[in-house]
Amino acid sequence: MVAYVGTYKNGMKVGTSKGWHSNGRLKAIGFYKNGDKVGTWKEWYSNGRLKSIDFYKKGEKSGVHKEWYENGKLKELGFYKNGEKNGCWKSWNEKGLLIEEANYEFDKLNGTWKCWYENGQLKEEGFYSSNKKMQRWKYWHENGMLKEEGLYHLNRKSGCWKSWNANGELESEWCYDGGTKLSKSEYKKRIKKYQNMSLIPIQ
């Protein structure tokens, strides 16, 4: 059973709030003002190791966010502004290896994105705009060989894509138009058709 201690004033939480694990170890501590979380809040695992640190302003997370695994290794590092993720966020596995790096703006993925295999090898690299995949994306096999490469537009594959096996041998080459998969020859015909249409004068 988890126990909490705090103070109420006019029906709202105020002052220091504390919580404990069933083994008696401190679980959380923070401060309320007029019912809203403010200032530094900390959480701990039942083994006594620090779990997370967050900063609050008028009840919303604002500032650096840090989170750790139960073994003490850093799990996540990022920044909140008015309760929304902003800037660069990083995540690590329990061994301490970086597994994800993302950029946020107003709680949406915006900018470069990278993720890694558990062995530290780069797995994916690309770009997001308002939570949608855009521009060039690359994918790798766990042995470091390039697996797939191509363009995205609004979360849909676009243009010509290539894929390779783990030995580096080209396996396939396909093209996409509006998310529709086409052979390279079909794609060239369609692009040529679009180009010809663009040459038709507007009356």
User: pLDDT tens, 22-48?
Assistant: 999 999 999 999 999 999 999 999 999
DSSP class of 62: -
Report the alpha-carbon distance of residue 40 to residue 31 in Å, rounded. 7
* Residue 178, pLDDT score: 77
Q: How far apart are CA 28 and CA 19, in angstroms?
A: 5
Distance, CA of 69 to CA of 74 (rounded, Å): 6
Looking at residue 197, its pLDDT comes to 42
41-66 b/e with 16+ CB inside 10 Å = b? bebbbbeeeebbebbbbeeebbeebe
Specify the CATH number of the domain 38-198: 3.90.930.1
Please state, in angstroms and rounded to a whole number, the distance separating the CA atoms of residues 76 and 14.
Answer: 29
- pLDDT tens digits for the chain (203 residues)? 467 788 989 899 999 999 999 999 999 999 999 999 999 999 999 999 999 999 999 999 999 999 999 999 999 999 999 999 999 999 999 999 999 999 999 999 999 999 999 999 999 999 999 999 999 999 999 999 999 999 999 999 999 999 999 999 999 998 888 778 886 666 667 666 655 544 333 33
- Give, in order, the Cα–Cα distances in Å from 170 to each of 161, 165, 181, 185: 11, 7, 18, 18
Partnered with residue 52 across adjacent β-strands are 43, 67
Tell me 165's DSSP state.
Answer: -
Instruction: Please give the Cα distance from 77 to 67 (Å, whole number).
Output: 7
Helix H segments across 20-178? none
Measuring CA to CA, which residue among 152, 156, 155 is closest to residue 178? 156
| SS3 of residue 142 by DSSP | coil
- At residue 191, the pLDDT reads 65
- What is the pLDDT, as a whole number, of residue 199? 38
Residue 73 identity (one-letter amino acid): K
The pLDDT of residue 45: 98
- Written as one string, the DSSP assignment of 3-72 is EEEEEEETTEEEEEEEEE-TTS-EEEEEEEETTEEEEEEEEE-TTS-EEEEEEEETTEE-EEEEEE-TTS
For the chain, which residues make up each domain, given as ranges?
Answer: 38-198
Closest C-alpha among 136, 164, 140 to residue 152? 136
Q: How far apart are CA 116 and CA 186, in angstroms?
A: 35
Coil, helix or strand at residue 155: coil
Please count the CA atoms within 13 angstroms of the CA of 152 that sit on its side-chain side: 18
Which pTM value belongs to this model?
A: 0.85
